[in-house]
Amino acid sequence: MIVHLATEAGRRTLAHVSDRSQPLGSAIEVVQYRQIPERSSWPRGLYLFTDMERATSEETRLAVKLHGVLQAHEGAVRTLNHPTDHLKRFELLRTLYEAGVNDFNVYRASEVGEEMRYPAFLRYTDRHIGPLTSLLHSRAELDAALSELVEAGHPIDRLLAVEYLDTSDPEGVFAKYGAFRFGPHVVAGHMFASVGWNAKRESDRRDLVGSREVEWLQSFAERDQVLAAFQVARLEYGRMDYALKEGRVQVWEINDNPSMGTTFFKRRWFSRTRARRIMRPRRKAAFQDLLAGLDLAGAPLAFQIGLD
């Protein structure tokens, strides 16, 4: 059994894998954090603590309590991700910049100083929707864009100012890579290619998605760099989105509640059939390895987590 713990808003990211005939080799049970006090029986298996950026303070407290109790049942369960002991986006990106891993710096939007390098853009600290602005080429442009966002209802304390880094290849193509971590396993997931700097989901270079992605999945030369960044973040489960600049990983974010393959991954015109045939068995094998060695045949664990 794989138990996926998430908020109500994030409960579908793993469940739909089975819905779309992409089985992981195990049943999946989704438990929302707010439902934790309602349960007194817990299955044996792998527990994924995810979606913590969206969790309320009460949900976080419940998650921490559950995580602590589960640690006493070693052999029956395995947990990935601690609910609080990890770096969030700002702290992670700043740490990676200061360590010389990333070549770009980030600032809280309310604390941008003269050291900011332009161009830059604004985005959320805790959402996975990409940039909120186009590239901003001066402090005046950044201030104007920030004022517009705040007036439109975007809370300034949840906004980041990010220095732009050109990661295009000699042909002007930007590639965004996504790699998953499942405990000790790091698995290459997908690649997008675009002539636009924000290669979030768009792939207007579909020829590269078909050919270059397969080559990348087969080589995955930057695996150790990706694992090292996950270790800095102290996240054991999630998807890292990054670019490559002269062979060096440039981390954009780590999503602790990643989708395993939504509709746009399945469209034929992405020519991803070969890529999926490589990636999906690796993903399934990683989950199966995490479940191996656990005593899954015994009775469910009996305990209840209180609200106090």
Q: Can you name the residues that pair with 30 across neighbouring β-strands? A: 4
Count Cα atoms within 13 angstroms, Cβ side, for 81.
29
Which pLDDT score is estimated for 127? 82
- CA–CA separation, 162 vs 104, rounded Å? 8
- CA–CA separation, 263 vs 56, rounded Å? 29
Digitized pLDDT (tens) for each residue of the chain, 308 residues in all: 999 999 998 888 887 665 555 578 888 999 999 999 999 999 999 999 999 988 999 999 999 999 999 999 999 999 999 999 999 999 999 999 999 999 999 999 999 988 999 999 999 998 877 899 999 999 999 999 999 999 999 999 999 999 999 999 888 889 999 999 999 999 999 888 888 787 655 555 666 666 788 889 999 999 999 999 999 999 999 999 999 999 999 999 999 999 875 444 444 444 577 788 888 899 999 999 999 989 999 999 999 998 77
What amino acid is encoded at 272 in this protein? R
Q: Are 251 and 229 spatial neighbours (Cβ–Cβ below 8 Å)?
A: yes
Helix (H) or strand (E) holding 86: none
What predicted TM-score, i.e. pTM, was given to this entire model? 0.91
Q: Are 242 and 179 spatial neighbours (Cβ–Cβ below 8 Å)?
A: yes
Residue 82: both structure tokens together: 């601690």
Which pLDDT score is estimated for 20? 53
What amino acid is encoded at 64 in this protein? V
CB burial of 38-55 (b: ≥16 within 10 Å; e: otherwise) equals eeeebbbbbbbbbbbbbb
Which pLDDT score is estimated for 16? 67
CA nearest 162: which of 127, 116, 132, 120? 120
